[in-house]
Each structure stands twice: as structure tokens, then as C-alpha cells.
Amino acid sequence: MPRTSKRFEFIPPYLFAEIDKKKAAAIARGVDIINLGIGDPDKPTFSHIVEAMHKAIDDPSTHNYPPYEGIARFRQAVATWYQTRFGVTLDPVEEVVSLIGSKEGIAHLLSAYLDPGDIVLVPSPGYPVYKMGTILTGGTPYYIPLKESNGFLPELDSIPEDIAKKAKIFYVNYPNNPTAAVADLKFYIKLVAWAKKFDLLIASDLAYSEMTYDGYIAPSILEVEGAKDIAIEFHSLSKSFNMTGWRIGMAVGNKEAIRALGTIKTNVDSGIFKAIQEAGIVALTTPAPQIEQNNLVYKERRDVLTDGLNRLGWTLSPIKATFYVWAPVPKGYDSASFCSKVLEDCGIVVVPGSGYGPEGEGYFRIALTESVQRIEEALLRLKEKGIRYIA
């Protein structure tokens, strides 16, 4: 057998694949696992979306190859949703492309832009695909620290000018995974001006825009005047509509970037099954009160978890968006050793912050994907095992 490529040697197993192995081993030992790891909604896809899928799958016209860029009605539904939700006008032909989940689009964008050694600005902590996609396409990730002291927003003025001039793409993600940080339009206005100064492409990951609490409404970077000159935005139906397994999302914005991404996709995939797109159209174009109902569920879980951890010594503020809680590990542990202890001693799966980049070390991520009762059980187990936060 030939050896794998040199760049492949820099790719560790995907973070959640390794967590799944440890979880499976614990289950095999008979441990009652409380899984607060991967961000996969525990509620089913909304029933009216499932019904639309049932209808579409019986239609033989959905059984052949779909258009690579997405069927016209789906792209129009995306444009209409963006207009309604953000007040952003999109050309469904030139400024929208369908994705087999936003993850693949985030990764494939790099193939359209990177030559060997090209720099990509990668937030740390940040979604691992930003870094891994860069490495797999021969680029060089340059970490942009997201510090708690700055609300986990990048300090644009601290990015070296020589790096900014060489960089081609800057990934940003608000509401943020894993920190749950949020950004306002003032940040995006500054970011757009900064990106234009250095002539680079902003890749905005907006997957969590509909998971918000306490009156917070997440903006899109495309709301900023002139943002489409330098920004492409990725979105997904996964979290908003409990459709993680359906693999349907979209990229919108700068038409040159959309065209480039679409060209890559025509060469590596064959588009989304038409019946799934029909279900996606229904999701985007019909009222979905279930989103607010979901958010009320996550808010209750957030409050129970935050209050419970604070009684154990943490000093956490309630998150405004996503369904993640980002917390520091107690003194005497690094993020991996703390998460291992919690799994071994308490049967609780949480994610080490180190998996999200160097600045993630010293933190762990909790997903609000178990019921209030199970979250309360997790807190009880931590208390009984004497696990508390010590700075």
C-alpha cells in the first residue's frame, strides 16, 4: 500500500469520532451515559417538514440527479427567507448555492481559493473544520485568538498587517461554537471595513442564528452595506429545524465566491436529493413556531445547568445563543484530563476545549441536548463525586 500524503499526517481523528469511541467503551462497561457532548438536537424534525418529505419522496420526479447548485425553488426559498429574516436581498441564481450541510461547503470553499501555503485566518477556539479544511487543501492556518476578556471576539487591530495582507480567507462564526459568544452589527461593520482594507474574503458561519434567548436576535454580516463585496455566509437547516441528519444547508453572498464554490461542488458531489430540498423549501417558507418552542426548552436547560454549575463553584453567565455552555476546567486539570475524569467518574460526556484550537485549552464545552431531568442527574453526579470548580 502507498503511504498517505504528508498533509494527511497533520490530520488527527475528528474530535467527535474519538469522543464516540470513549462513550461506546463506557457503555460497553455498563455505564449509564449522560451525553452532553456533540451538538445534535434531541428533538425530532418538525412534523410538517417530515410530511413534506413523505410526499416528495413518492414523486418520481425527485428520484433523478438534482441540479448541482440546488433546484431553483429551493434557492428562491433561501433568498426569500434571508429577505424576511435579515432584510437582505439575494439573487437566487447568482448569490445562493445549496449545500449538503454547511460543513461540506465550509471545507470545499478552500479548494477554490487556496494555493499551497496560502494563509487562512482561523479563530481559536473555533469549529475544527476551519483548520482541518485548510490543512487538507494545502493551506496554512493562522490562529486568531478569541479571548474571554474580549467577549470571544477577534481583536482585529492585533492581527499583524503582514499576515492580514497574505491571508485569503477569514472564518468567523457568531453565534459561536464552542463559546456561545455573540456579535452585533457594530462588530460586523468594523470587520467588513477591515476585510476590504486587506482584500480578503470573510467566510461567515451563521448556523446558530435562530437559537437565541432573552430577546437577543442574531444579525447576518450581509446586513452591513457593502458586505457582499467581500463576504460569503454559510447557513444550515440542521440546528434551527432539528435536521442534522438530513444534510441540507446553503451558502449565500458574494457572487464570485458562490460561483467558485459551486464549481468545486460540480466536480465532487451531485447535489442534495430533490425530496430533501422540497422538505427544505417547506421549512424555510412556512411558519415554524417550533423554533421558539425549542428555544424555550433550551433556555430552561441552560438555566438549570448554569445555576447548578454555579452552585459547584463556577461563575457562569447565561448564554444568549446556541445550545452550548463554555466553562473553564478546575485547577489541576487540562481540558482533556478533566473531560476524561468526568466520563470515568460520572458517566458524563463533555468535550475538551483543546479540540477547538490552542486557546480552547483550559475550557470544556457542554451541549444542552439532554432533558432537564438528565442535566439535574449530571449535576448530582458531579456533586457526589466532589467535582467543583477551583480557580
Q: Are residues 109 and 253 in the same domain?
A: yes
Q: Are residues 307 and 183 in the same domain?
A: no
Looking at 229, 257, 285, the residue that finishes a domain is 285
- The pLDDT assigned to 14 comes to 65
In a domain, 2, yes or no: no
Query: Which whole number is the average pLDDT over 300-326?
Result: 98
With 80 as the cut, is the pLDDT of residue 16 above it? no
- The pLDDT assigned to 6 comes to 82
**DSSP assigned state of 146:** B
288: helix, coil or strand? coil
Element (H, E) at 380: helix 372-384
In a domain, 73, yes or no: yes
Query: Which whole number is the average pLDDT over 136-141?
Result: 96
Q: Are residues 245 and 337 in the same domain?
A: no
In a domain, 156, yes or no: yes
State which amino acid sits at residue 202: I
- The pLDDT assigned to 156 comes to 98
In tens, the pLDDT along 237-262 reads 999 999 999 999 999 999 999 999 99
Q: Are residues 156 and 275 in the same domain?
A: yes
Q: Are residues 184 and 309 in the same domain?
A: no
Determine how β-strand 119-124 pairs with β-strand 167-173: parallel
The least confident of 4-18, 167-181, 244-258 is 4-18
Give the separation between CA 22 and CA 28, rounded to whole angstroms. Answer: 10
Q: Are residues 35 and 64 in the same domain?
A: no
57: helix, coil or strand? helix
Q: Are residues 164 and 309 in the same domain?
A: no
The answer to whether the peptide bond before residue 330 is cis (omega within 30 degrees of 0) is no
With 70 as the cut, is the pLDDT of residue 163 above it? yes
- The pLDDT assigned to 12 comes to 72
With 80 as the cut, is the pLDDT of residue 332 above it? yes
Looking at 223, 254, 285, the residue that finishes a domain is 285
With 70 as the cut, is the pLDDT of residue 217 above it? yes
In tens, the pLDDT along 190-203 reads 999 999 999 999 99
Nearest residue to 265 (alpha-carbon basis) of 276, 246, 279, 251: 251
In tens, the pLDDT along 336-361 reads 999 999 999 999 999 999 999 999 99
In a domain, 80, yes or no: yes
Range of the domain at 95: 47-285
In tens, the pLDDT along 39-86 reads 999 999 999 999 999 999 999 999 999 999 999 999 999 999 999 999
Q: Are residues 40 and 140 in the same domain?
A: no
Q: Are residues 207 and 325 in the same domain?
A: no
Query: Which whole number is the average pLDDT over 141-162?
Result: 98
Q: How many helices (H) and strands (E) does the chain have?
A: 12, 12
Distances (CA, A) of 164 to 144, 146, 159, 279: 11, 16, 7, 41
With 70 as the cut, is the pLDDT of residue 15 above it? no
Share of the chain above pLDDT 70, in %: 99
Q: What would the grid cell of residue 49 be?
A: 417538514
Give the separation between CA 209 and CA 182, rounded to whole angstroms. Answer: 10
Residues 6+ apart with CB under 8 A from 124: 143, 144, 145, 146, 356, 357, 358, 359, 360
Nearest residue to 13 (alpha-carbon basis) of 141, 132, 135: 132
In a domain, 120, yes or no: yes
